[in-house]
Protein backbone atom coordinates (compact mmCIF):
# COMPACT_ATOMS: atom_id res chain seq x y z
CA UNK A 1 0.00 0.00 0.00
CA UNK A 2 1.32 3.42 -0.97
CA UNK A 3 2.32 5.63 1.93
CA UNK A 4 0.19 8.72 2.52
CA UNK A 5 1.99 12.04 2.36
CA UNK A 6 1.24 14.11 5.46
CA UNK A 7 3.56 17.07 4.92
CA UNK A 8 5.28 18.11 1.72
CA UNK A 9 7.91 20.80 1.17
CA UNK A 10 8.28 22.19 -2.34
CA UNK A 11 11.15 24.46 -3.37
CA UNK A 12 11.19 26.14 0.03
CA UNK A 13 13.42 29.16 0.71
CA UNK A 14 14.02 31.42 3.69
CA UNK A 15 16.22 34.49 3.34
CA UNK A 16 16.99 36.66 6.39
CA UNK A 17 18.16 40.23 5.96
CA UNK A 18 17.59 43.40 3.96
CA UNK A 19 17.82 42.08 0.38
CA UNK A 20 15.93 38.77 0.00
CA UNK A 21 15.11 39.30 -3.69
CA UNK A 22 18.72 40.13 -4.49
CA UNK A 23 19.87 37.07 -2.55
CA UNK A 24 17.41 34.86 -4.46
CA UNK A 25 18.77 36.18 -7.76
CA UNK A 26 22.34 35.50 -6.61
CA UNK A 27 21.38 31.93 -5.67
CA UNK A 28 20.05 31.43 -9.18
CA UNK A 29 23.40 32.69 -10.50
CA UNK A 30 25.17 29.96 -8.51
CA UNK A 31 26.62 31.97 -5.61
CA UNK A 32 26.80 30.14 -2.28
CA UNK A 33 25.58 31.20 1.16
CA UNK A 34 28.89 32.73 2.26
CA UNK A 35 29.36 34.77 -0.94
CA UNK A 36 25.84 36.16 -0.68
CA UNK A 37 26.33 37.24 2.92
CA UNK A 38 29.64 38.94 2.10
CA UNK A 39 28.04 40.92 -0.72
CA UNK A 40 24.63 41.72 0.80
CA UNK A 41 24.73 40.99 4.57
CA UNK A 42 21.75 38.77 3.82
CA UNK A 43 21.63 35.21 5.18
CA UNK A 44 20.31 32.20 3.33
CA UNK A 45 18.50 30.16 5.99
CA UNK A 46 16.94 27.50 3.78
CA UNK A 47 17.65 26.99 0.11
CA UNK A 48 15.35 25.22 -2.37
CA UNK A 49 14.27 22.41 -0.04
CA UNK A 50 11.92 19.73 -1.36
CA UNK A 51 10.90 16.49 0.36
CA UNK A 52 7.89 14.55 1.65
CA UNK A 53 7.05 13.37 5.16
CA UNK A 54 4.72 10.39 5.39
CA UNK A 55 1.90 9.84 7.84
CA UNK A 56 2.95 8.02 11.00
CA UNK A 57 6.73 8.31 10.58
CA UNK A 58 9.39 9.93 12.75
CA UNK A 59 11.22 12.21 10.33
CA UNK A 60 14.47 13.64 11.71
CA UNK A 61 15.99 16.81 10.27
CA UNK A 62 19.61 17.06 11.35
CA UNK A 63 22.71 19.09 10.70
CA UNK A 64 25.34 21.19 12.41
CA UNK A 65 24.61 24.55 14.00
CA UNK A 66 23.59 27.02 11.31
CA UNK A 67 22.55 24.35 8.82
CA UNK A 68 18.96 25.65 8.72
CA UNK A 69 17.17 22.80 10.49
CA UNK A 70 15.38 24.91 13.14
CA UNK A 71 14.44 27.50 10.53
CA UNK A 72 12.98 24.71 8.44
CA UNK A 73 10.72 23.29 11.16
CA UNK A 74 9.45 26.76 12.13
CA UNK A 75 8.25 27.26 8.56
CA UNK A 76 6.05 24.16 8.94
CA UNK A 77 3.74 26.13 11.25
CA UNK A 78 4.73 29.58 9.94
CA UNK A 79 6.39 30.76 13.12
CA UNK A 80 8.87 31.83 10.45
CA UNK A 81 7.42 33.05 7.14
CA UNK A 82 8.92 31.40 4.04
CA UNK A 83 10.49 33.67 1.44
CA UNK A 84 9.39 31.39 -1.40
CA UNK A 85 8.05 27.90 -1.95
CA UNK A 86 5.25 25.81 -0.49
CA UNK A 87 4.50 23.82 2.64
CA UNK A 88 1.57 21.46 2.15
CA UNK A 89 -0.19 19.71 5.05
CA UNK A 90 -2.72 17.13 3.90
CA UNK A 91 -2.46 18.73 0.47
CA UNK A 92 -3.23 22.27 1.66
CA UNK A 93 -0.62 24.97 1.10
CA UNK A 94 -0.22 26.74 4.43
CA UNK A 95 1.91 29.52 2.92
CA UNK A 96 -1.20 31.12 1.35
CA UNK A 97 -3.44 30.78 4.43
CA UNK A 98 -4.69 33.93 6.14
CA UNK A 99 -4.32 34.43 9.90
CA UNK A 100 -7.65 32.84 10.82
CA UNK A 101 -7.00 29.79 8.64
CA UNK A 102 -3.51 29.42 10.08
CA UNK A 103 -4.78 29.58 13.68
CA UNK A 104 -7.36 26.88 12.91
CA UNK A 105 -4.70 24.69 11.29
CA UNK A 106 -2.35 25.04 14.26
CA UNK A 107 -5.13 24.17 16.71
CA UNK A 108 -6.37 21.20 14.69
CA UNK A 109 -3.23 19.59 13.38
CA UNK A 110 0.03 20.93 14.83
CA UNK A 111 1.81 21.03 18.16
CA UNK A 112 5.39 21.97 18.99
CA UNK A 113 7.79 20.89 21.72
CA UNK A 114 10.85 23.11 22.24
CA UNK A 115 14.27 22.52 23.77
CA UNK A 116 13.31 24.84 26.62
CA UNK A 117 10.73 23.25 28.89
CA UNK A 118 9.00 26.67 29.22
CA UNK A 119 6.84 25.50 32.11
CA UNK A 120 4.85 28.03 34.11
CA UNK A 121 6.42 27.91 37.61
CA UNK A 122 3.20 29.01 39.37
CA UNK A 123 1.09 26.28 37.69
CA UNK A 124 0.79 22.63 38.65
CA UNK A 125 2.00 19.90 36.31
CA UNK A 126 -1.61 19.26 35.26
CA UNK A 127 -2.23 22.94 34.57
CA UNK A 128 0.96 23.15 32.52
CA UNK A 129 -0.03 20.11 30.48
CA UNK A 130 -3.45 21.70 29.87
CA UNK A 131 -2.08 25.14 29.00
CA UNK A 132 -2.32 24.76 25.22
CA UNK A 133 -5.92 23.57 25.52
CA UNK A 134 -6.73 26.53 27.75
CA UNK A 135 -5.32 28.89 25.12
CA UNK A 136 -7.60 27.20 22.59
CA UNK A 137 -10.64 27.97 24.76
CA UNK A 138 -11.38 24.36 25.75
CA UNK A 139 -13.57 24.11 28.85
CA UNK A 140 -11.87 23.27 32.14
CA UNK A 141 -13.20 19.74 32.69
CA UNK A 142 -12.37 18.66 29.12
CA UNK A 143 -8.87 20.12 29.14
CA UNK A 144 -8.07 18.59 32.53
CA UNK A 145 -9.28 15.19 31.33
CA UNK A 146 -7.18 15.39 28.16
CA UNK A 147 -4.15 16.76 30.02
CA UNK A 148 -4.33 13.92 32.55
CA UNK A 149 -4.52 11.38 29.72
CA UNK A 150 -1.41 12.97 28.20
CA UNK A 151 0.40 12.82 31.54
CA UNK A 152 -0.49 9.14 31.79
CA UNK A 153 1.09 8.59 28.36
CA UNK A 154 4.40 9.96 29.63
CA UNK A 155 4.15 8.30 33.05
CA UNK A 156 3.54 11.44 35.12
CA UNK A 157 -0.07 11.09 36.23
CA UNK A 158 1.08 10.68 39.86
CA UNK A 159 2.73 14.13 39.71
CA UNK A 160 -0.32 15.94 38.30
CA UNK A 161 -0.67 18.21 41.34
CA UNK A 162 3.06 18.78 41.84
CA UNK A 163 4.83 22.02 40.95
CA UNK A 164 7.50 22.12 38.20
CA UNK A 165 10.33 22.84 40.67
CA UNK A 166 9.59 19.51 42.35
CA UNK A 167 10.46 17.60 39.18
CA UNK A 168 13.77 16.54 37.66
CA UNK A 169 14.88 17.93 34.30
CA UNK A 170 13.73 14.80 32.49
CA UNK A 171 10.35 14.90 34.19
CA UNK A 172 9.94 18.57 33.26
CA UNK A 173 10.62 17.73 29.64
CA UNK A 174 7.98 15.01 29.86
CA UNK A 175 5.51 17.67 31.00
CA UNK A 176 6.46 19.67 27.91
CA UNK A 177 5.86 16.60 25.77
CA UNK A 178 2.53 15.94 27.51
CA UNK A 179 1.47 19.54 26.77
CA UNK A 180 2.14 18.87 23.10
CA UNK A 181 0.29 15.54 23.18
CA UNK A 182 -2.73 16.92 25.04
CA UNK A 183 -3.95 18.81 21.98
CA UNK A 184 -3.85 15.47 20.10
CA UNK A 185 -2.01 16.83 17.04
CA UNK A 186 -1.73 15.13 13.68
CA UNK A 187 1.84 16.44 13.46
CA UNK A 188 4.17 16.89 16.43
CA UNK A 189 7.10 19.24 15.80
CA UNK A 190 10.03 18.72 18.18
CA UNK A 191 12.86 21.25 17.95
CA UNK A 192 15.97 19.93 19.74
CA UNK A 193 13.50 18.72 22.38
CA UNK A 194 16.00 16.57 24.30
CA UNK A 195 19.19 18.55 23.73
CA UNK A 196 19.23 20.20 27.15
CA UNK A 197 19.06 16.89 29.01
CA UNK A 198 22.01 14.92 30.30
CA UNK A 199 22.87 11.80 28.22
CA UNK A 200 21.17 9.24 30.44
CA UNK A 201 17.89 11.16 30.71
CA UNK A 202 18.10 11.95 27.00
CA UNK A 203 18.22 8.24 26.16
CA UNK A 204 15.26 7.63 28.47
CA UNK A 205 13.26 10.33 26.66
CA UNK A 206 14.12 8.80 23.30
CA UNK A 207 12.85 5.46 24.60
CA UNK A 208 9.71 7.21 25.85
CA UNK A 209 9.10 8.76 22.45
CA UNK A 210 9.54 5.43 20.67
CA UNK A 211 7.19 3.75 23.15
CA UNK A 212 4.55 6.43 22.59
CA UNK A 213 4.94 6.07 18.83
CA UNK A 214 4.46 2.29 18.99
CA UNK A 215 1.13 2.79 20.80
CA UNK A 216 -0.24 5.74 18.84
CA UNK A 217 1.24 6.43 15.43
CA UNK A 218 1.44 10.15 14.73
CA UNK A 219 3.64 12.10 12.35
CA UNK A 220 6.66 13.48 14.22
CA UNK A 221 9.20 15.94 12.81
CA UNK A 222 12.23 15.86 15.10
CA UNK A 223 15.10 18.36 14.88
CA UNK A 224 18.50 17.20 16.13
CA UNK A 225 22.22 17.85 15.73
CA UNK A 226 23.03 14.44 17.22
CA UNK A 227 23.62 11.63 14.72
CA UNK A 228 23.20 8.87 17.29
CA UNK A 229 19.84 10.31 18.30
CA UNK A 230 18.74 10.67 14.67
CA UNK A 231 19.62 7.08 13.83
CA UNK A 232 18.06 5.76 17.02
CA UNK A 233 14.61 7.29 16.60
CA UNK A 234 14.32 8.28 12.94
CA UNK A 235 12.42 6.26 10.35
CA UNK A 236 14.04 8.60 7.83
CA UNK A 237 16.60 11.39 8.13
CA UNK A 238 17.08 14.62 6.19
CA UNK A 239 20.63 15.95 6.45
CA UNK A 240 21.06 19.70 6.03
CA UNK A 241 24.17 21.73 5.33
CA UNK A 242 24.36 25.46 4.64
CA UNK A 243 20.59 25.73 4.22
CA UNK A 244 20.44 22.87 1.71
CA UNK A 245 18.86 19.47 2.18
CA UNK A 246 21.77 17.30 1.09
CA UNK A 247 20.18 13.86 1.43
CA UNK A 248 16.97 12.20 2.62
CA UNK A 249 16.73 8.50 3.41
CA UNK A 250 16.62 5.79 6.03
CA UNK A 251 19.68 5.48 8.28
CA UNK A 252 20.60 2.32 6.35
CA UNK A 253 20.31 4.01 2.94
CA UNK A 254 22.40 6.99 3.98
CA UNK A 255 25.05 4.87 5.68
CA UNK A 256 25.47 2.65 2.62
CA UNK A 257 25.09 5.35 -0.06
CA UNK A 258 26.13 8.79 1.26
CA UNK A 259 25.30 11.56 -1.20
CA UNK A 260 28.57 13.44 -0.85
CA UNK A 261 31.67 13.95 1.30
CA UNK A 262 29.72 16.05 3.83
CA UNK A 263 27.30 13.19 4.53
CA UNK A 264 30.13 10.67 4.44
CA UNK A 265 32.00 12.68 7.09
CA UNK A 266 28.88 12.78 9.25
CA UNK A 267 28.66 9.00 9.24
CA UNK A 268 32.38 8.28 9.53
CA UNK A 269 33.05 6.24 12.64
CA UNK A 270 29.42 5.10 12.99
CA UNK A 271 29.15 1.46 14.03
CA UNK A 272 27.11 -0.13 11.20
CA UNK A 273 26.35 -3.26 13.21
CA UNK A 274 23.60 -1.41 15.08
CA UNK A 275 22.13 0.19 11.95
CA UNK A 276 22.30 -2.28 9.07
CA UNK A 277 20.22 -5.43 9.04
CA UNK A 278 21.14 -8.86 7.73
CA UNK A 279 18.88 -8.32 4.74
CA UNK A 280 20.69 -5.09 3.86
CA UNK A 281 23.96 -6.86 3.13
CA UNK A 282 22.99 -10.47 2.27
CA UNK A 283 24.10 -11.60 -1.19
CA UNK A 284 22.21 -14.07 -3.36
CA UNK A 285 25.25 -15.29 -5.29
CA UNK A 286 25.67 -18.57 -3.40
CA UNK A 287 25.18 -21.97 -4.97
CA UNK A 288 21.68 -23.26 -4.17
CA UNK A 289 20.24 -26.73 -4.72
CA UNK A 290 16.53 -27.45 -5.10
CA UNK A 291 15.47 -30.46 -3.06
CA UNK A 292 13.21 -32.45 -5.40
CA UNK A 293 12.25 -36.10 -5.46
CA UNK A 294 14.87 -38.24 -7.19
CA UNK A 295 17.47 -35.46 -7.18
CA UNK A 296 20.95 -36.79 -7.76
CA UNK A 297 23.26 -35.33 -5.09
CA UNK A 298 26.19 -35.81 -7.49
CA UNK A 299 24.81 -32.90 -9.55
CA UNK A 300 24.99 -30.65 -6.53
CA UNK A 301 28.55 -31.77 -5.81
CA UNK A 302 29.59 -31.08 -9.41
CA UNK A 303 28.05 -27.62 -9.23
CA UNK A 304 29.98 -26.81 -6.06
CA UNK A 305 33.24 -27.96 -7.62
CA UNK A 306 32.55 -26.03 -10.82
CA UNK A 307 31.88 -22.80 -8.92
CA UNK A 308 34.79 -23.34 -6.51
CA UNK A 309 32.49 -23.18 -3.52
CA UNK A 310 32.55 -25.30 -0.39
CA UNK A 311 28.91 -24.91 0.63
CA UNK A 312 25.47 -25.00 -1.02
CA UNK A 313 22.08 -23.97 0.34
CA UNK A 314 19.25 -26.46 -0.11
CA UNK A 315 15.79 -25.01 -0.87
CA UNK A 316 12.38 -26.48 -1.61
CA UNK A 317 10.33 -25.55 -4.68
CA UNK A 318 9.06 -22.41 -2.86
CA UNK A 319 12.65 -21.41 -1.97
CA UNK A 320 12.08 -22.21 1.71
CA UNK A 321 15.43 -22.93 3.33
CA UNK A 322 16.01 -26.58 4.33
CA UNK A 323 19.70 -26.95 5.14
CA UNK A 324 23.33 -26.59 4.05
CA UNK A 325 25.52 -29.21 2.39
CA UNK A 326 29.25 -29.06 1.70
CA UNK A 327 31.61 -30.76 -0.70
CA UNK A 328 32.91 -32.82 2.22
CA UNK A 329 29.46 -33.87 3.47
CA UNK A 330 28.33 -34.81 -0.06
CA UNK A 331 31.54 -36.78 -0.68
CA UNK A 332 31.15 -38.62 2.63
CA UNK A 333 27.55 -39.55 1.89
CA UNK A 334 28.24 -40.70 -1.66
CA UNK A 335 31.18 -42.83 -0.53
CA UNK A 336 29.16 -44.51 2.23
CA UNK A 337 27.25 -47.74 1.68
CA UNK A 338 25.30 -47.27 4.92
CA UNK A 339 23.72 -43.89 4.13
CA UNK A 340 21.00 -43.50 1.46
CA UNK A 341 22.23 -41.13 -1.20
CA UNK A 342 19.66 -38.37 -0.52
CA UNK A 343 20.57 -34.72 -0.09
CA UNK A 344 19.01 -34.35 3.42
CA UNK A 345 21.44 -37.01 4.64
CA UNK A 346 24.32 -34.65 3.82
CA UNK A 347 23.00 -31.70 5.82
CA UNK A 348 25.56 -30.09 8.12
CA UNK A 349 24.82 -30.12 11.82
CA UNK A 350 24.58 -26.94 13.89
CA UNK A 351 23.25 -24.80 11.06
CA UNK A 352 21.17 -21.80 12.13
CA UNK A 353 19.48 -19.14 10.02
CA UNK A 354 18.84 -15.42 10.66
CA UNK A 355 15.89 -13.19 9.81
CA UNK A 356 16.40 -10.40 7.30
CA UNK A 357 15.57 -7.77 9.95
CA UNK A 358 18.16 -9.02 12.47
CA UNK A 359 20.89 -6.44 13.07
CA UNK A 360 24.51 -7.13 12.20
CA UNK A 361 25.16 -7.08 15.93
CA UNK A 362 22.65 -9.92 16.32
CA UNK A 363 24.13 -12.11 13.59
CA UNK A 364 27.81 -11.52 14.39
CA UNK A 365 28.18 -14.56 16.72
CA UNK A 366 26.66 -16.86 14.08
CA UNK A 367 28.78 -15.46 11.25
CA UNK A 368 31.95 -15.76 13.33
CA UNK A 369 31.08 -19.13 14.83
CA UNK A 370 30.84 -21.23 11.65
CA UNK A 371 32.84 -21.72 8.50
CA UNK A 372 29.78 -21.57 6.23
CA UNK A 373 27.92 -18.34 5.33
CA UNK A 374 24.88 -17.56 7.47
CA UNK A 375 21.59 -18.07 5.59
CA UNK A 376 19.21 -15.09 5.73
CA UNK A 377 15.46 -15.71 5.48
CA UNK A 378 12.32 -13.62 4.98
CA UNK A 379 9.14 -13.76 7.07
CA UNK A 380 8.02 -16.96 5.33
CA UNK A 381 11.35 -18.72 5.80
CA UNK A 382 12.37 -18.22 2.18
CA UNK A 383 16.05 -17.90 1.41
CA UNK A 384 17.06 -14.38 0.28
CA UNK A 385 20.84 -14.72 0.51
CA UNK A 386 23.69 -15.30 2.92
CA UNK A 387 26.30 -13.37 4.89
CA UNK A 388 29.84 -14.72 4.91
CA UNK A 389 32.71 -13.64 7.15
CA UNK A 390 34.32 -11.89 4.20
CA UNK A 391 31.13 -10.00 3.36
CA UNK A 392 30.65 -8.98 7.00
CA UNK A 393 34.22 -7.66 7.23
CA UNK A 394 33.94 -5.82 3.92
CA UNK A 395 30.80 -4.08 5.20
CA UNK A 396 32.63 -2.88 8.30
CA UNK A 397 35.64 -1.89 6.20
CA UNK A 398 33.54 0.07 3.72
CA UNK A 399 31.77 1.93 6.52
CA UNK A 400 35.11 3.01 7.96
CA UNK A 401 35.79 4.80 4.65
CA UNK A 402 38.99 2.94 3.86
CA UNK A 403 40.06 0.99 0.77
CA UNK A 404 37.72 -1.79 -0.30
CA UNK A 405 38.69 -5.35 0.46
CA UNK A 406 38.62 -7.66 -2.57
CA UNK A 407 35.15 -8.83 -3.58
CA UNK A 408 34.33 -12.40 -2.64
CA UNK A 409 33.99 -14.83 -5.57
CA UNK A 410 30.62 -14.92 -7.26
CA UNK A 411 28.60 -18.07 -7.78
CA UNK A 412 26.15 -18.79 -10.57
CA UNK A 413 22.99 -18.97 -8.48
CA UNK A 414 20.49 -21.81 -8.27
CA UNK A 415 20.88 -25.17 -9.89
CA UNK A 416 18.00 -26.03 -12.15
CA UNK A 417 16.19 -29.21 -11.24
What pLDDT, in 10s, does the model give residues 274-326?
Answer: 778 888 889 888 899 887 654 678 888 888 998 889 999 999 889 999 999 99
pLDDT at 1 exceeding the cut of 60: no
Strand blocks (E) in 63-176: 84-89, 92-93, 110-114
Chain segment 241-274, per-residue pLDDT in tens = 989 999 999 988 888 888 888 888 877 767 777 7
Query: Are 348 and 372 within 8 A, CB to CB?
Result: yes
Please provide residue 357's backbone torsions phi and psi, each rounded to the nearest 5 degrees: -90, -5
> How would residue 147 be classed by pLDDT, with cut points 50, 70 and 90?
confident
pLDDT at 402 exceeding the cut of 80: no
Query: How far does the chain reach from its first CA to its final CA, in angstroms?
Result: 35
Query: Are 150 and 133 within 8 A, CB to CB?
Result: no
The count of other CB atoms within 10 Å of the CB of residue 78 is: 17
pLDDT for position 116: 66
CATH class of 5-120+186-270: alpha beta
Q: Report the DSSP beta bridge partners of residue 245.
A: 240
Helix (H, G, I), strand (E, B) or coil at 349: coil
Cα 312 from chain centroid (whole Å): 34
Of 138-142, 355-359, 387-391, 400-404, which gets the smallest average pLDDT? Answer: 400-404
The third-level CATH classification (topology) of the domain covering 279-416 is CBS-domain (3.10.580)
Q: Output the pTM of the full model.
A: 0.70
Chain segment 62-119, per-residue pLDDT in tens = 988 888 999 999 999 999 999 999 999 999 999 999 999 998 898 888 888 876 667 8
Domain boundaries, the chain: 5-120+186-270, 279-416
Chain segment 212-252, per-residue pLDDT in tens = 888 778 899 999 888 888 888 899 999 999 899 999 999 88
Amino acid sequence: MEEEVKLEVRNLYKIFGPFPKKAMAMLEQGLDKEEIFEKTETTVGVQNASFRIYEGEIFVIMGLSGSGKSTMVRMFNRLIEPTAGQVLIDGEDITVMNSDQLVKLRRAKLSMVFQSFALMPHMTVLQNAAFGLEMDGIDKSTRQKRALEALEQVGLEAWAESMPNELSGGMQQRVGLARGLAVDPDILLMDEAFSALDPLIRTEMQDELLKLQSKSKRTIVFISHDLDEAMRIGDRIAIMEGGRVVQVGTPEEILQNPADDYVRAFFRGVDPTNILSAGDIATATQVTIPITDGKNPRTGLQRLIKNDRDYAFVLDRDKVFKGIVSTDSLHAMLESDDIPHLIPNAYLEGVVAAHKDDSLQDILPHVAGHSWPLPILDDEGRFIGAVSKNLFLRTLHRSSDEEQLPEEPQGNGAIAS
